[in-house]
Structure 1
C-alpha cells in the first residue's frame, strides 16, 4: 500500500484526477460512514473518489462519546441481532483493523437493589458477553462486586447510592483519528480524497444522476466530476444531499444534539469508567489518560447544523446525572472542556418512490433516483458494516462475486502493531522521550510511530513538547500537515491535536505556536497566519460564550457570528 499521506498536494491531484476521468463511485461525506464507504469501494476494485465540504470527521464523527460498543441498552429491547452486529464490529476493530486507536475499556454498572436489579443486570451483561464471544473473545467477561469491592474500584462513588456493581467491558476510540486513518487507508488503495470540496449540484441525464459539480472551497474553482454512482453519506445533511438531484425521494433525517463535558483526571478516582441508566437514556463517565469524558444528552435540535454548541442547560443536566452517583460533586469550575454534536435520527420509511433496503434497525440504504444512493442512521461502531451494505446496494447482483474485504484490512497504523509495540523501549531511549510520552504517541499513531519520530532526525526541535500543550510534540503538528491532510489551524486543534475540548481556553494559548509550525510547511505569510489564529480565537470564545446561554437559538447564533476560516458555498 502506497501514497497514504494526505497532503495539500495529494488533495489537489485528487481533484484534478476526478475531473479528468469518470469514477465508478463518488462518495460525498468524509465522516466515519463515508470514509468507510470509500475504503470498501476502492478495495473492491472500484475507481473511487471521496469529498467533504469541511475537514475529515468535521460532522457527527468528531463529537461522539468516543466509544466502540455493542449497545448494552438494546438488549433490554430484545434487539439481539443489532447488538451481535455491533459486538462483532467491536471485536474486528480491537483485534484487526484499528488496535492502535481502539482499546478495551472496563465500566462499572452501579447497582441499587440487591436481588432483582442484580439478577436482570447479570443476565443482560451475560448475554452481552456471550454475543461478543461468538466471533472470538476480545475483552474480559463480566465480574460482580459487592459494596466494598465497588468502592475499592471507584472510590469517588457515593457509597450511599449503591449496594454493589457489575464490571463489564466495551472499548473506547479516538473518533476523529479513526476517520482520518480510514481516508488515508482508502487513498493508499487508490481512492481519490479531497477535503474542503463541496458538492453544490448534481449532473443529471433524464432522471439519472451521472455526476456532480464540486466547488474547491480553497480556491473557488468549480469542477465537473462524472461518476457511475454517487453515494451520499452526509448524516444530518442527508436531505440537503438528496435535494441536489432534484428528487423529492430519499431518507428523512432529523437532528438530535448530544453534548459531553470534560473534567481533569484527578477530579474522579477510579480504575474503571462508570455506566448509568438514566430516565432519558444512558450516561457514561469515561476515563482517558488526562481527563474524564462525561455524557451524553439527547435533545431535538432545530438550529443550523454546521456548528452545534453546548448550552448552560445541557451542562447542568450532565452534571446532575453524574453527581447522582459521585460523593464529591462536580461543579462548573471543574469543567475543562465541552463539546456538542448532532446525531442523525433516521425517520421510518422513505420519501417519494425510491426503492430502499432496510438493512438494520439503525441504518437504511436507499436510491432516491438512479445513480444516487444514500445511507443514514447507524453509529460509529458499525460504520464498516454500513459501508459494506452501501456498496453492496450499488453493486446489486455483482456484490456476491465481489464481496467486501474490509473486515480483514488493517488501517494505517495497524500493520505490524504488535511488533511495533515491542520497540517502544528502544524508541524511548533513542529519542530521549519518557515511556509515558512514547506510549501516548503509540496510542495515536500505532505502527506509524517511526514515521512520526523520523521527523526529529532532521530537526531535533521537533522532539520538544508544545509550550502550551506539553502532552504533544511539535513533530505531531508537522505530521498532521505532511501525512494527515491538515490545511488549517482548526483542522489540527479539532481533529489531530484536540485541544478544543482538552483545555479550558480551547487551545487559544497554543494556537500561535501551532500556526507558526503549520505556516512554515504551508507557506503562509504573516497575514494568513494571523488570520488563522484570529479565526480560531473567535470560534473558541464564541463556544465559551454559548456555554453561558440557556437557549439553543441564542447559543447557535453566537457561534455562527464567529464565522468559519473557509466559508461553505452558498452559506456566506
Structure 2
C-alpha cells in the first residue's frame, strides 16, 4: 500500500462511520489484533481495526523479542503448546524473512553429570517437536565444553559454568512485526485506525454499535459491525465490561528488560539461565543487548507500566552471577516494562504468575462480541485465526484463504533486494551498513525509504540525538506505517529511544519537526510532542528510584498525562 496514510485518515474515519456495516470490528492493535485484522481481510471480509494508543504500544512492543517454543514449558508437560509455537516460529521465518533471525541460545551447566543429561534430554524433545522439516535453518541442540562456552560468550566468568548446551530459536522485533501485520492487513483491504478509543459497545438488532473517540480531533463517531472482537491483552477484563461482566478473567504479570550497549556485552549468542522466580535472558539485538526478565504480578490497573529500581537491581544481580565484569546502572541505556496477558486459571491457585499457562482462549462474551485472550507473541497467527473463525461463524465469508501462505509487507522480492544492497548503498550515497539496517526493518521496502533522499538528501542523514535513525525513516513511518507521534517513531517504529541514555529527548525536536511537516500539524503541536517525550523520560528516571510497584501510583498518573 503506497497511499499517504495521514491524508487518508479522515476519509477512513468517515468511511467506517457512515459507510456500510462492517463484518468485523477488531478492538486492540497488538500482535493478535493486527493478526486478526489481516486474517479477516484475507478472507474478503469488511474489517476495521481500532487502537486507543499506538500499534504495539502495550504487551506486543515490550517483550523479549523472541519467537520460540518455550523450553521451560516442557517441564510443565505442555507439549502441544510447544509444538504449535515451534511450527509458527518456522512459518513466520518464511512469511517475513526480513524480520525473523535465527539466534543461538547458550544454556550454561553448573553440574558435571546429571544436568547435562537432563537438559539434553529436554532439548532433544524440543528438537523432535520442531520436526525434521523445521523451517528457517534452526539447528538441533549441541553440547559445549567450558572452553567452547567461553569462546562463544567471552563476557562470561570462567568459573560460572562447567559447560553448556546450545540450541537455536527465533528472534523478531516485536513492535515492527505488529506494524508489518497492520500494513499487510491494510494491503488486503482492512481499515486501520490508531489513537481511536472505544468508549461504549451496544448490541442491537443483530449487530454491535461501537462509540469511538478520535484522540487527534476529539470527534466522536459510531462504527457498526456484525461482529466485534476484543483483542486487548491484559486489559481484556476492562473492555469486556463495555458489554457486561468479564467472562474471561485475566492476570497481568510484569516483565522488565534492561538495554545495554553491545560493546559492553560483546556477544553474538544469547544466554538463558534459571533464576529463583523467572528466567534470565541476555539477548543480543542489533546494536544493543537485552537483559531480562522479571515475572511479578501487576496490580496497578490499566494504562502505562513502569519498572522500579528493585526490578533493575534484581536483573543486575541475576546477570552479575554469570559475568566477568558485573553490570551496573551506569551500563544501562534504557529500561522497559510490559505485561504478559495471562488467563486466570480460577480460584484455588497460589496467586503466582510464573506457572500460569500461555495458552489462549476465545469466547463469546455477549451476542456477537468475542474476546481472545492469553497466548504469546509466537502464536499470534493461530490466536488470530481461531478468533476470527469463531467470530464470523454464520457470516458469508467470500474467500477461504489462510494466512499460512500470505507473505507480510516487505517480504516480496526481499532476497533480490538484499542481494542488491551494495548497489543501493552506492546510489543513495550511504554506507552499506545503513542499507542493511533498513532492510532488517522494512524488508524490500527499504528502497522506498531511500527514495526520499533523492528529493531531499538531508533526509538520509542520522537524526541528531538518534544515530541509528534516518530522517527519511521518520517521514516514511508517518506516511506508510501509522506513526502519529514522536514516541511512535522513537519507541516502536525504531528503538532509537532505548539505545541512547536520554531516552531520545535530544532527538525529539527533530523528529517532531519532520512529523509536523508530514502530518500537517502546527508548531504548537511540535512543542507539545517534545514536552511530552521529555516528561515521559523524566517519569522513567523517577520510577527507577522507587523500591516497589506500590510507589509508582503518582508516576503512572504523570505518564498518563504525558502520553
Pairwise mapping of residues 386-401 of structure 1 onto structure 2 (< 5 A)?
A: 386-396=383-393
- Pick which of 456-465 and 32-41 moved more: 456-465
Which of 8, 11, 32 in structure 2 is aligned with 1:10? 8
Q: Which SS does the other structure have where 2:156 is aligned? A: coil
Which of 431, 435, 453 in structure 2 is aligned with 1:434? 431
Q: Name the CA shift for 1:317/1:201 in 2 (closer, same or farther; >3 Å).
A: same
Q: Name the CA shift for 1:397/1:122 in 2 (closer, same or farther; >3 Å).
A: farther
- 1:248 CA displacement: 2.0
Q: Name the CA shift for 1:456/1:310 in 2 (closer, same or farther; >3 Å).
A: same
Distance 2:306 2:498 in 1: 12
Which of 123, 127, 130 in structure 2 is aligned with 1:129? 127
- 1:552 CA displacement: 1.3
- Pick which of 147-156 and 552-561 moved more: 552-561
CA contact (8 A) 2:226 2:368 kept: yes
Pairwise mapping of residues 348-497 of structure 1 onto structure 2 (< 5 A)?
A: 348=345, 362-396=359-393, 403-497=400-494
Distance 2:455 2:38 in 1: 33
Distance 1:183 1:423 in 2: 27
CA contact (8 A) 2:304 2:560 kept: no
CA contact (8 A) 1:106 1:169 kept: yes
Match of 2:93 in 1: 94
Indicate whether 1:509 and 2:506 are aligned: yes
Distance 1:267 1:295 in 2: 16
Distance 1:253 1:402 in 2: 34
Q: Name the CA shift for 1:547/1:28 in 2 (closer, same or farther; >3 Å).
A: same
- 1:11 CA displacement: 2.5
Which of 195, 220, 232 in structure 2 is aligned with 1:234? 232
Q: Which SS does the other structure have where 2:263 is aligned? A: helix
Match of 1:210 in 2: 208
Match of 1:118 in 2: 116
Q: Which SS does the other structure have where 1:271 is aligned? A: coil
Q: Which SS does the other structure have where 1:39 is aligned? A: helix
Match of 1:55 in 2: 54
TM-score, normalised on structure 1?
0.93
Indicate whether 1:314 and 2:287 are aligned: no
CA deviation string 1:323-348 (max 9, x = no partner):
11111111111111100011112113
Distance 1:44 1:559 in 2: 41
CA contact (8 A) 1:28 1:231 kept: yes
Distance 2:69 2:560 in 1: 38
* 4+ runs deviating over 4 angstroms: 397-404
Structure 1 segments unaligned to the other structure (5+ residues): 351-359, 567-572
CA deviation string 1:239-281 (max 9, x = no partner):
1111111x22421012111100011111123331101122222
TM-score, normalised on structure 2?
0.95
Q: Which SS does the other structure have where 2:392 is aligned? A: helix
Match of 1:39 in 2: 38
Match of 1:535 in 2: 532
CA deviation string 1:41-69 (max 9, x = no partner):
11011110100001111111110111111
Match of 1:219 in 2: 217
- Matched residue count: 552
Indicate whether 1:300 and 2:282 are aligned: no
Which of 239, 252, 255 in structure 1 is aligned with 2:252? 255
- 1:233 CA displacement: 0.2
Q: Which SS does the other structure have where 1:509 is aligned? A: coil
CA contact (8 A) 2:505 2:533 kept: yes
- 1:399 CA displacement: 9.8
Q: Which SS does the other structure have where 1:266 is aligned? A: coil
Q: Which SS does the other structure have where 2:538 is aligned? A: helix
Q: RMSD in angstroms over aligned alpha carbons?
A: 1.9
CA deviation string 1:10-48 (max 9, x = no partner):
322221111121000000000111000000011011110
- 1:153 CA displacement: 0.9
- 1:361 CA displacement: 5.9
Q: Which SS does the other structure have where 1:211 is aligned? A: strand
Which of 511, 514, 518 in structure 1 is aligned with 2:515? 518
